[in-house]
Structure 1
């Protein structure tokens, strides 16, 4: 399959070729592992992919073994390639202690293999439902980090649930600290005295749907607005329209322009539509 990324880069997942659309001389061939990694991230574009999921699908199922260090090195190389090709926005965002995400704001189109010469293209929906989980799932994680926080990207583990949310399961607690300025965020609305931010600047209609869902999630899960906290939040379009998807809410405490602690709520499954 051939993808057109950001209207300037062509990427062929069959052999890992990647080049500037107007400069075939810029073509490079990604390594097998790097190609698998990029292909998988693009397929999940706009969705948070956990480290374990990447390790499983890029290495383990092929009989290989890897580590977080190796994964980080490959991701760093991919980011360098995109930067060298002229993309200034961060293509692959790191969500500390959770995983990674191919930026849903970067346009990606699919070019049919047999129609490349005619320029036939199909836009890849950043919110296409790629989940294989059945039923519903909800988890939350409390942490404080020392890694780069990527300001609202942490809210992008987006998930859909069923008609009722099951009780949250505390996964683990980690110490993390991060800068608030790392990634641009957009104010969605104010929940009581707390600001609610997302990483995407949506249309008015879509923003209203996101607000409504946020209020439903915090009510069902008893997530309160506390002093000196703000929310980072995102939800997949699939979830908003009643299909299987994801939602993520992170309530973070700020001190001296740094997030000193975050309580993360993560849902997966189907959103009920009554």
Structure 2
């Protein structure tokens, strides 16, 4: 099978190669048989956690070899470095401590049905100099910031009916603050959410004791399991006289990790 990763890298599972079509770096990144087996399993189900024991059985034991957690960790580290060098994305394979690994669902992965090549620019005959582009991770961060700014605007002027914002749900309370999110969170993630928020800003609990407020939260799943990821929350106190939003304090971190 062939996959297009992050709209840039072609991954051929049959021969274990990673290439960037049309790039000046024509030489393909060749994976070892073991590394290729691990990546092909992870990328087939982005966002799904594959347990360590499952990977050891599928990659090593099925081939008649003996694997170990340390060997698995080494191959995961090699794969992450290889993917980062090609995509500029650091958190491509997420570690779930004491459980396993998963390929980040935030990275666009497409199954290619036919050979992929960048479309030539036939409208301009002259050769244009290469254009510098921002790393994909920063672009994704910018999109999230714009979306959350739009959410703040909505909070000040909520529409009477809009399907896009119909999924905003209350997920709990922190003192006088009502926690809300547009994302679907598991019960385990909701429990960990309080720990993450208070680690990111220890004085948030004091703020919520003093003020009745709405707390809009968006936290990348990897953060809940000890990995790095994006976190955002908007602290919006309510005016006690008319129960309307007084102002909002927005807090954002791109590559944050629990200490």
Higher helix share: 2
Give the TM-score, by structure 2 length.
0.50
Give the TM-score, by structure 1 length.
0.47
Higher strand share: 1
Relative contact order, higher structure (CA 8 A, sep 6+): 1
Q: Answer with 1 or 2: which has the greater Rg.
A: 2
